[in-house]
Structure 1
């Protein structure tokens, strides 16, 4: 999926955290947390079950364009500033855009914006299960908190 295709996906939600570290440190921690969180065997099984094209980690580390984590491909990577992940499976096309910005001395703001389309009746049901239950929001908040802990 290209960046223009991501912009066309409907907005789902956004979450923000202030992290007590500079953006370069947060960038490294974000990549490590994504690899650890999505690198679990159950994630690989889930991505195969729903039909994700990318169900294994591959490519350069720290994350760069073309690299993958289960369920996602890196579409854009600007170290210390922006990381764009996109994916697709039977029930959804989706992307998450991480943005980092300095927020004073030794602090950064890390945000995660999710965009996704859920076509058809099965997509609507999947949206209800993942988004409607609050599961997605909780998972993103946990991920942002894990980045903060990794920096601490």
Structure 2
């Protein structure tokens, strides 16, 4: 039985001047750096994330984890979908790599999430409504772009 997709939150994108394999490698590095920091580790413990450690192969494959996320789809050079849950939300973060011309890749990051109950509503207001999620997603995409385009 398939579950209905989570509600759409937002999507951000950037164009990277690099080959898809290079962008894929840079995406894994950027995710490791972003989600494995001491600050991120404290946060996932505080909100009660299901996945709290780094595990699995790198670049990520299905089943690989980052604090707060588990890879459920990993098609190298094409798509990486991460899912997670904690006390206030169930969420997914899908990264898609698409051709954007010779030597260029469009990297899209789509967020979906459900925020059940009154505490979920408050959490959504704090994280989505105040703009921190969008800011952090744009920073993550910029990090991927810098890593992939470095000489």
Of the three residues 38, 42, 52, the one matched with 1:45 is 42
In the alignment, what sits opposite 2:135? 138
Equivalent residue runs for 1:1-152 within 5 Å:
4-5=2-3, 8-152=5-149
Aligned residue for 1:8, secondary structure, equals coil
RMSD over equivalenced CA pairs, Å = 1.2
CA contact under 8 A between 1:98 and 1:111: conserved in structure 2?
yes
CA contact under 8 A between 1:22 and 1:102: conserved in structure 2?
no
Where in structure 2 are there 5+ consecutive unaligned residues?
Answer: none
- Matched residues in 2 for 1:96 and 1:80: separation? 16
Give every structure 1 segment of 4 or more consecutive aligned residues whose post-TM-superposition deviation is greater than 3 Å: none
Q: Deviations over 1:44-100 (max 9, x none)?
A: 111011000111111111100001000000001000000000000000000000000
Q: CA deviation at 1:41?
A: 1.2
Q: Deviations over 1:87-145 (max 9, x none)?
A: 00000000000000111111000000000000000000000000000100010000001
